[in-house]
Amino acid sequence: MSATNEEILGRADANDLEAILSITNDDMDSIIHAVKDNADAIFTWDYEKGARPALNKLYEKAKGAQWNGETDLPWETAVDPVELARNSVTNAPIDQQVDLTGTCFDGWGEKEWTDLNVEFQNWTLSQFMHGEQGALLCTAKIVETVPWIDAKYYAATQVMDEARHVEVFAKYLDEKLSGHYPINAHLKLLLDDIIEDPRWDMTYLGMQIMVEGLALAAFGFIQQMTTEPLLKQLLRYVMSDEARHVAFGVISLQEYYKELTGPEIRERQEFAFEAAVRMRDRFLQQEVWDRFDVDVKEVVKIVMQAPERQVFQTMLFSKIVPNCKKLGLLDAGDGWLRQRFTELGVIQFEDWTDTGEEYATLDEVSKDREAASA
């Protein structure tokens, strides 16, 4: 028996806007947020390095690809937040074709749209920063819980990568933009679910495949579009690391899923679906709208209609879907996840490049070093 939407998402209809917007972050003032980590820490006495060659290769690669967030990025670059927002893919998701007469945007001028775009920019980068901290905690957890020594070694390098990512996003927000946003309610719900799950492979599925798969696609999109040199360089380097992280998930789960039964695989499919919906829901950016004098439900409906918005949002699944396919999650059982991804409108990415090997071509850090020493 498969779980219902109600059991997986807490609502019967995945697209129920009222229910989506009713999920809010009601803990904005605390400095810390505690989550129960239900997993056992696992020692292994099998120290044979390279027993899993693909993981060993990834580990050796990661050791040579470390960079320093303080000294390897051009922090002296002056950044104009208004200019940055104007040229951003995250900006005013309102198509010129959409008629705004009689809506809360009626009468909005240059100033209001500019303010909104600056807020979108801050919100987007803040959520990346929070997601990076989620990755930091998840990979520290994987070091403890995964039973394979090659995976513990590799995960330890990812802990360092994620610390650097949190550091550079926080520094960019503090020094170049104007303030942090608290974590989005849907992202928080997802990160909590991933950390609470006692099964070690669920950390990988939630973080490496889903959250990092989305981050890799989003960073790639923004990195290509932005003309701001510091952010561009920051994202190039973060992406080099993220490509390894997603590969780590694909390589590890490919092996582990072979041992699982049909019902166990179904639970992984359901978790992948839940994560996909949470990540889609967060792009309603409800925390931004709360800062403007608008009806959140109304503006969200307008925003959802904008075609470029839909392109950006579906593109975010361009790594997740092929990786789920490679892991056998799309078609396992009766194709349950294929059906769900079809309903979410993202199945068209199934044959795009998966991320098992892509990290080698995305290694911009090594490319820069080779160019500098040539």
Binding-site string for Fe ion from residue 201 to residue 230, where x marks contact by CB under 5 A and - marks none: -----------x------------------
Minimum CB–partner distance for residue 46 and Fe ion (Å): 27
φ, ψ of residue 44 to 5 degrees: the values are -125, 140
**Residue 141 touching Fe ion (CB under 5 A):** no
Three-state DSSP at 50 gives coil
By C-beta, is 52 or 245 nearer to Fe ion?
A: 245
Shortest distance, position 319 Cβ to Fe ion, whole Å: 12
Determine the interface stretch with Fe ion among 80-88, 105-113, 242-250, 296-304 (rule: CB under 5 A): 242-250
Interface with Fe ion in residues 282-341 (CB under 5 A): none
| Nearer Cβ to Fe ion (168/344) | 168
Give yes or no for residue 135 binding Fe ion (CB under 5 A).
yes
Whether the Cβ atoms of residue 93 and residue 117 lie closer than 8 Å to each other: no
Whether the Cβ atoms of residue 51 and residue 149 lie closer than 8 Å to each other: yes
Measured from the Cβ of residue 331, the count of other Cβ atoms closer than 10 Å reads 14
Q: x-or-dash pattern for Fe ion, window 151-190, by CB under 5 A?
A: -----------x--x-------------------------
**Of 119 and 132, which has the nearer Cβ to Fe ion?**
132
What 3-state class would DSSP assign to 237?
helix
Instruction: Output the smallest distance, CB 284 to Fe ion, in A.
Output: 23
- Report residue 158 CA to chain centroid gap: 15
CB-count exposure of residue 324 (10 Å: 0-12, 13-18, 19+) = buried
Q: Determine the interface stretch with Fe ion among 41-49, 197-205, 238-246, 284-292 (rule: CB under 5 A).
A: 238-246
What residues contact 276, with CB distance under 8 A and at least 6 apart?
Answer: 210, 317, 320, 340, 341, 344, 346
CB of 66 to Fe ion, least distance (A): 13
The distance of closest approach from Cβ of residue 188 to Fe ion in the complex, given in angstroms and rounded to an integer, is 17
Q: What are phi and psi of 320, to 5 degrees?
A: -65, -45
Residue 62 carries which side chain, given as an amino acid letter? A
Q: Could you tell me where the DSSP H helices lie in the chain?
A: 5-9, 17-21, 53-64, 81-86, 110-145, 149-176, 185-196, 200-203, 212-225, 229-257, 262-282, 286-289, 296-305, 307-315, 320-326, 336-343, 364-373
- Smallest distance, Fe ion to C-beta of residue 186, A: 19
Site size toward Fe ion (CB under 5 A) is: 7
Q: Is 244 in the site for Fe ion (CB under 5 A)?
A: no
Tell me if 116 contacts Fe ion by CB under 5 A: no
Q: How far is the CB of 234 from Fe ion (least distance, A)?
A: 12
Residue 245 lies near Fe ion (rule: CB under 5 A): yes
Residue closer to Fe ion by CB (options 44, 366) is 366
Please give the residue ranges that form the binding site for Fe ion (CB under 5 A).
132, 135, 162, 165, 212, 242, 245
